[in-house]
Amino acid sequence: MGVSTLQRLVEQLKLEAGVERIKVSQAAAELQQYCMQNACNEALLVGVPARSNLFWEPRSCALL
């Protein structure tokens, strides 16, 4: 690696080291909270009345 490449790497690592972090317990709690808050909107989990999901409608069949 050339000197300039290494200098850039060191600068980048300094930047990344300086990032503000929170505890995993707090981050995890917030991810969970988002899921719970939006779960009611989740058609795939809650299930919606058959007519409102257009993909559940069969395509038209013709009786010959």
Partner 1 sequence: MCDQTFLVNVFGSCDKCFKQRALRPVFKKSQQLSYCSPCAEIMATDGLHENETLASLKSEAESLKGKLEEERAKLHDVELHQVAERVEALGQFVMKTRRTLKGHGNKVLCMDWCKDKRRIVSSSQDGKVIVWDSFTTNKEHAVTMPCTWVMACAYAPSGCAIACGGLDNKCSVYPLTFDKNENMAAKKKSVAMHTNYLSACSFTNSDMQILTASGDGTCALWDVESGQLLQSFHGHGADVLCLDLAPSETGNTFVSGGCDKKAMVWDMRSGQCVQAFETHESDINSVRYYPSGDAFASGSDDATCRLYDLRADREVAIYSKESIIFGASSVDFSLSGRLLFAGYNDYTINVWDVLKGSRVSILFGHENRVSTLRVSPDGTAFCSGSWDHTLRVWA
What tokens were used for 20? Answer: 């503000």
- Under rule CB under 8 A, residue 61 binds partner 1: no
Nearer to partner 1, 21 or 63 (CB): 21
Nearer to partner 1, 40 or 64 (CB): 40
Is residue 53 within 8 Å of residue 46, measured between CB atoms? no
- Under rule CB under 8 A, residue 15 binds partner 1: yes
28 vs 41: CA distance, rounded Å:
21
- Under rule CB under 8 A, residue 51 binds partner 1: no
Within a 13 Å sphere around the CA of 23, how many CA atoms are in the beta-carbon half? 3
- Under rule CB under 8 A, residue 62 binds partner 1: no
- Under rule CB under 8 A, residue 21 binds partner 1: yes
